[in-house]
Amino acid sequence: MTGALAGQVVLVTGSSRGIGAEVAAKAAEAGARVAIHYRTSAEGAQRTLRRVRDAGSDGHAFSADLVDGRQAEQLVRQAIAHFGRVDALVNNAGLTQVGPFLEIEPADWAAIIQLDLTAAFHTCRAVLPSMVERGSGNIVNIASRLAQIGVAETAAYSAAKAGVIGLTRALAREFGPRGIRVNAVAPGVTETGMTTGLVESEEGRRRLREMPLGRFGRPEEVADAVIFLLSDASALFLGQTLNPNAGGYMP
């Protein structure tokens, strides 16, 4: 995808590590300037920034708590002030949840919904006006296989990510006629620092048996799907959910 995003500015939330960091690095390799977002991990954001610059691209790191709509708006304003515009948004920031449903505290439920779903609402709401004004733009939301199949003891996370897919489709219908494409990527288990405990557990081994490919995904493989959706090669994709999940779910 070398040059596929040349001249674009891409904002990637939660890009201090994991899938977000890979998306940022690959966007830079594809020619984009990259706005790196982090909440607390300034060190991780700087590592991602070095990768962006090593790819020969321009980047800048911004901090924001996206649960707060005002901070999401400020993030977008800062990115536009620094780069001149934001052509594409990748909503990647999120938090996993595992535990029996009856043991979920209301505060924990709210925290998952806020970070995994409401934060995407805030960032989309902040970035869309400038895209509408230009008549072009691209949003890719990171969902999850769990949103599609349901897995025991992941109720909050599954519900939030199912909401992300619904949000994606609704925005694609509303803003597609205005030149803005909105799509989603729903990975299966992906080997990142956030999933190490799962991958090495009995539950992880059970899920691995569900994968016809016989292995879990890698962050860079999920990032490839995102870059495809950001590029003109996916011009006919609106409201779609790509599934880099090693065959764990076949819609």
Identify the band that residue 209 occupies on the pLDDT scale cut at 50, 70 and 90: confident
pLDDT at 199: 64
Residue 117 — very low, low, confident or very high, per pLDDT cuts 50/70/90?
A: very high
- Among the listed residues 38, 157, 175, 216, the single catalytic one is 157
Give the predicted TM-score (pTM) of the model: 0.93
pLDDT at 200: 62
pLDDT at 13: 98
Residue 181 pairs in a beta bridge with 138
Does pLDDT of 61 surpass 90? Answer: yes
Give the 3-state secondary structure of residue 142. strand
Domains and CATH numbers, the chain: 9-242 (3.40.50.720)
Is the confidence at residue 196, as pLDDT, over 70?
no
- What is the H or E stretch that residue 182 is in? strand 180-185
- 38 part of the active site: no
Residue keyed to tokens 């409401």? 118
Please report, rounded to a whole number, the percentage of residues in the chain having pLDDT higher than 70.
95
- Residue 151 pLDDT > 70: yes
Distance of CA 91 to the CA centre of its chain: 4
Residue range 99-127: mean pLDDT, rounded: 96
Q: What is the pLDDT of residue 193?
A: 64
Taking the C-alpha atoms of residue 109 and residue 104, their distance in angstroms, rounded to an integer, is 6
DSSP code at position 220: H
Mean pLDDT value of segment 141-149: 94
The average pLDDT across 190-202 equals 65
Average pLDDT over residues 8-31: 97
Residue whose pair of structure tokens reads 């607390």 in the numeric block: 40
| Per-residue pLDDT reduced to its tens digit, 63-75 | 999 999 999 999 9
Check whether 195 has a pLDDT greater than 70: no
The answer to whether the CB of 14 falls within 8 A of the CB of 92 is yes
CA-based diameter of the chain, in Å? 50
Distances (CA, A) of 143 to 8, 94, 165, 183: 23, 9, 7, 10
